Amino acid sequence: MTHPAPPILIENLSVTYGDHRVLDGLSLSVPAGSVTALLGGNGAGKSTTLSTLLGFVKAASGTVSICGIDPGAAPDAARRKMAYLPENVALYDHLTATENAQYLLALSNGQQDRAAIADAFTAAGLQDRAWDQRLGAFSKGMRQKVAIAVALLREVPVLLLDEPTSGLDPRATADFNALVLSVRERGTAVLMVTHDLLGAADIADRICFLDAGRIVEDVAAQGPERFDVRALHARFAVATQRLAA
């Protein structure tokens, strides 16, 4: 019986900037209905990995696919299959939360019905009094909730997260993690790039360590404790120190 390819599939990927090889034989897959956390120090290749998946950077060798689509060859088609949540969400301060959602969904031909947007805001934990407020006064956590609501409404099979909990308080982080888990339960493949090992251990099904452009450790959650966080921290610290040296 042939199994379908995972929604996110990277095989032996190399990316170079000039003479510098940023990704060096990177292989990574994220199955449907799962969360994979990709950790690594500065310069490990995390941002380049995301840029390649989004179709902004082309591979020197190897293959990349989003739901069977090569984002380097057909970036628009690949992006229609994914939602991307950057560390600093690009929203419009002069528009309300609802107007932002309607506009962003219109760009992606997504559902713009006000009732559906309200349901998504509720699921994201955005209080109803904020729905018709302009975003200029929103906190980072509130802006993240607007963005994740839009991602929920798009109902795409792939979600890419770039340092999604950076700058969030513990309550906002807990709310965000609950949303990510609900997206996973819907069958979405989630790839989360982060420096936050403890946050990754809370929600990831796998934690992968990126060092010098390749995966050097791939650990799956097991048992009630899920991960040995102390052991993972020791490995992460070694990799980070090596990059800084």
Please state the domain extents for the chain.
1-81+157-245, 91-155
Per-residue exposure over 154-164, b if at least 16 CB sit within 10 Å of its own CB, e if not: bebbbbbbbbb
**CA distance linking residue 194 with residue 212, whole number of Å:** 16
Q: How far is it, in rounded angstroms, from Cα 240 to Cα 97?
A: 38
Amino acid at 210: L
Q: State mean pLDDT over 197-214.
A: 92
Residue 106 has pLDDT above 90, yes or no: no
Q: Classify domain 1-81+157-245 at the CATH class level.
A: alpha beta
What is the percent of the chain with per-residue pLDDT over 90, rounded to a whole number? 48
Complete DSSP assignment for 158-189: EEEEESTTTT--HHHHHHHHHHHHHHHHTT-E
pLDDT at site 224: 85
Q: Is the dihedral of CA 180, 186, 187, 188 positive or negative?
A: negative
Please state the rounded mean pLDDT for residues 181-202.
Answer: 90
Helix orientation angle between 170-185 and 114-124, rounded to the nearest 10 degrees = 120
CB 236 within 8 A of CB 209: yes
pLDDT at 230: 87
What's the N-to-C CA distance of the chain in angstroms?
48
Residue with the bigger pLDDT between 148 and 194: it is: 194
pLDDT recorded at residue 238: 64
Would you give the distance in Å from CA 185 to the centre of its chain?
15
Confidence of residue 109 (pLDDT cuts 50, 70, 90): confident
So what's the pLDDT on residue 33? 95
Query: Range with the lowest mean pLDDT among 36-45, 107-116, 183-192, 206-215?
Result: 107-116
Is there a contact between 49 and 10 (Cβ–Cβ < 8 Å)? yes
pLDDT score at 244: 54
Q: Quick one: pLDDT at residue 203? A: 92
Q: Do 74 and 54 touch, CB atoms closer than 8 A?
A: no
Q: Poorest-confidence range of 11-20, 38-47, 101-110, 113-122?
A: 101-110
The type of residue at 153 is L
pLDDT digits (tens, 9 = 90+) for 128-178: 999 999 999 898 888 888 988 888 888 889 999 998 887 777 887 888 888
Confidence (pLDDT) at 242: 57
pLDDT at 241: 59
Mean pLDDT of the residues in the chain? 88
| The one-letter amino acid at 109 | N
- Residue 179 scores a pLDDT above 90: no
Please identify which residue in the block is written with the tokens 């308080």: 169
User: What pLDDT is recorded for position 245?
Assistant: 54
User: How sure is the predictor about 3, in pLDDT bands with cuts at 50, 70 and 90?
Assistant: low
Give yes or no for residue 96 having a pLDDT over 80.
yes
pLDDT tens digits for range 46-91: 999 999 999 999 999 999 999 999 999 999 999 999 989 888 778 9
User: Is pLDDT above 60 for 210?
Assistant: yes
**Inter-residue long-range contacts of 49-54, CB under 8 Å, 24+ positions, other chains counted:** 49/10, 49/23, 49/193, 49/210, 50/84, 50/160, 50/162, 50/193, 52/10, 52/13, 52/15, 52/23, 53/8, 53/10, 53/78, 53/82, 53/160, 53/191, 54/78, 54/79, 54/82, 54/84, 54/160
